Amino acid sequence: MKYLDEFRDPELARSLLAEVEATVTRPWSIMEVCGGQTHSIIRNGIDQVLDDRITLLHGPGCPVCVTPLGIIDSALEIAARPEVVFCSFGDMLRVPGSDCDLFSVKARGADVRVVYSPLDAVQVAADNPDREVVFFAVGFETTAPANAMSVHMARKRGLTNYTVLVSHVLVPPAIEAIVESEASRVDGFLAAGHVCSVMGTGQYEPLAEEHGVPVVITGFEPLDILDGIRRTVAQLEAGEARVENAYPRVVTSQGNQSAQDMLAEVFTECDRSWRGIGEIPSSGWRLADEYRAFDAELRFGVGDTAVPEPERCRSGEVLQGLIRPDECEAFGRDCTPRSPLGATMVSSEGACAAYHQYRRLDGVAVSP
């Protein structure tokens, strides 16, 4: 299939692996930031065929996984209200809150709908003027422009029954928090290409410079990732630390200016809590003051979101690359995709889900 097969070519993969092997002289740890990259790595066995001296660490770039428990609980509370139509992307429905998930609330009769675009939710609001329509606006810089556009369009259409429950987070502050953590073992980063397609590459320059870490922007196909690893290892071995764009078919240095303009109009930067990790300063977006009328937390009086995480779930350590999912005692036993303890086991970008789905259950007494 064009645009896929050429990025999965086994011969080219072998030559990239050989190049890494010929370059590396000592152990290095490289973190892939995005959950989509993690899934590609595990699905294609990239970590298993790499030179033993390269360790891949899985990062925090799974938007569903890092959405704090308190926000999930707020979503459950809002969705249960009889006047509300609660719209969300499908991957949020299985994410466990303190007591249940959105599927359970829907099963009890709440009007919870899966949409494929926030603009679909705006249309639901237009079609149901007597109902309160709420969209669960979760994610990184990739999903935020469309969510911002939905608020912009709702205002333009004069809809007063549309609000968004916002939990947007930003990648660079998370990388910075990981680099600055004393426990960090990361020598270099594979940054997420789709985030950079929106925001450009400039945000990573200070990170690479100030912290002395290479940041290589990569895509998601096996050859994209192998090429990103090859470039990162080459920089590390040469003692360099700079931003390198290994995904030029999608990413430009300036990013998508129209999307950035929409984000700047609708959102403003704020501190955000990351599930399992804690608060990271200036690591998210909330609605700008002139759009606060579209804020579901204000409309429904929810928002005191400090809720403790379940003690047994170690997803915070998984999301910071401190442990692998199969090093969590609950993995595959008490925590499975059918009975998850944490969001990293249910999200399509979660590292625990990737390990469970792609043959990493060796030695684990798996629950049926």
Q: Which residues bind ligand SF4 (CB under 6 A)?
A: 312-315, 318, 325, 328, 330-331, 335, 340-342, 344-345, 352
**Residue 310 CB, nearest distance to ligand SF4 (Å)?**
8
The token duo for 363 is 């030695």
Q: Which is nearer to ligand SF4, 66 or 328 (CB)?
A: 328
* Rounded Cα gap, residues 75 and 356, in angstroms: 27
**Residue 21 CB, nearest distance to ligand SF4 (Å)?**
31
Q: Which is nearer to ligand SF4, 4 or 365 (CB)?
A: 365
- First-to-last CA distance in the chain? 37
For the purposes of burial, counting CB atoms within 10 Å of the CB of 148, is it exposed (0-12), middle (13-18) or buried (19 or more)?
buried
**Residue 343 CB, nearest distance to ligand SF4 (Å)?**
7
Please state the φ and ψ torsions of residue 360, each to the nearest 5 degrees. -105, 35
Q: Which is nearer to ligand SF4, 168 or 314 (CB)?
A: 314
Q: Closest-CB residue for ligand SF4? A: 342
* Rounded Cα gap, residues 16 and 188, in angstroms: 18
**Residue 177 CB, nearest distance to ligand SF4 (Å)?**
19
**Residue 352 CB, nearest distance to ligand SF4 (Å)?**
3
C-alpha 241: how far from chain center: 24
Half-sphere exposure of 276 (CA within 13 A, CB side): 27
Q: Which is nearer to ligand SF4, 96 or 219 (CB)?
A: 96
Q: Which is nearer to ligand SF4, 13 or 343 (CB)?
A: 343
If residue 31 lies in a helix (H) or strand (E), which one and from where to where? strand 28-34
The token duo for 345 is 């086991």
Q: Which is nearer to ligand SF4, 287 or 335 (CB)?
A: 335
**Residue 336 CB, nearest distance to ligand SF4 (Å)?**
8
For the purposes of burial, counting CB atoms within 10 Å of the CB of 88, is it exposed (0-12), middle (13-18) or buried (19 or more)?
buried
